[in-house]
């Protein structure tokens, strides 16, 4: 069974590239352009993992992660944060974040991170975030 990935990215060109690449790699895809839309999509059909841009209109990653972690349907769904903006380290401490990736990034690196996160969706007790390669 294909794993479901939710791509949350306001740049539609980046969203399209990510969706095409991951679909070609065998994932089922959902997409959203902001945090509010992501919460709505995920509540209808929870993904196995979400790839979330930090800076977005309407609702960015900060309030989205708070809502995500408080929602019983979503709080066990891991999140991979991606961003060109500073502040990834701070947000990476959030309970649902399993990895971070600085933009621009190699799509093959994203695939490796997704495989790792899907293989181990719960972080080890003393390691809240997987290291990312940028």
Residue 123 has pLDDT above 80, yes or no: no
- Residue 93 domain flag: yes
CATH number at residue 84: 3.40.50.2300
pLDDT of 54 = 87
- Residue 129 domain flag: no
Output phi, psi for 79, to 5 deg: -125, 135
3-state helix/strand/coil string of 27-64: CEEEEECCHHHHHHHHHHCCCCEEEEECCCCCCCHHHH
For 129, half-sphere exposure in the C-beta direction (CA atoms, 13 angstrom radius) is 18
**Number of structural domains the chain divides into:** 1
pLDDT of 51 = 96
- Residue 131 domain flag: no
**What integer best gives the mean pLDDT of the chain?**
86
Provide the domain limits for residue 97: 4-119
Task: List Cα–Cα distances, 105 to 16, 99, 110, in angstroms.
Answer: 15, 13, 8
pTM, full prediction: 0.86
Residue 44 has pLDDT above 60, yes or no: yes
């Amino acid at each position: 069974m294909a794993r479901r990935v939710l791509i949350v990215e306001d740049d539609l060109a980046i969203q399209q590239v990510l969706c095409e690449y991951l679909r070609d790699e065998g994932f089922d895809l959902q997409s959203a352009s902001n945090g509010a839309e992501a919460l709505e999509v995920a509540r209808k059909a929870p993904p196995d993992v979400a790839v979330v841009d930090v800076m977005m209109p309407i609702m960015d990653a900060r309030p989205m992660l708070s809502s995500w972690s408080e929602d019983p349907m979503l709080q066990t769904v891991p999140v991979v944060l991606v961003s060109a903006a500073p502040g990834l380290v701070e947000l990476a401490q959030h309970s649902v974040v399993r990895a971070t990736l600085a933009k621009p990034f190699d799509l093959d690196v994203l695939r490796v991170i997704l495989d790792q996160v899907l293989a181990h969706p719960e972080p080890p007790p003393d390691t809240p975030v997987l290291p990312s390669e940028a």
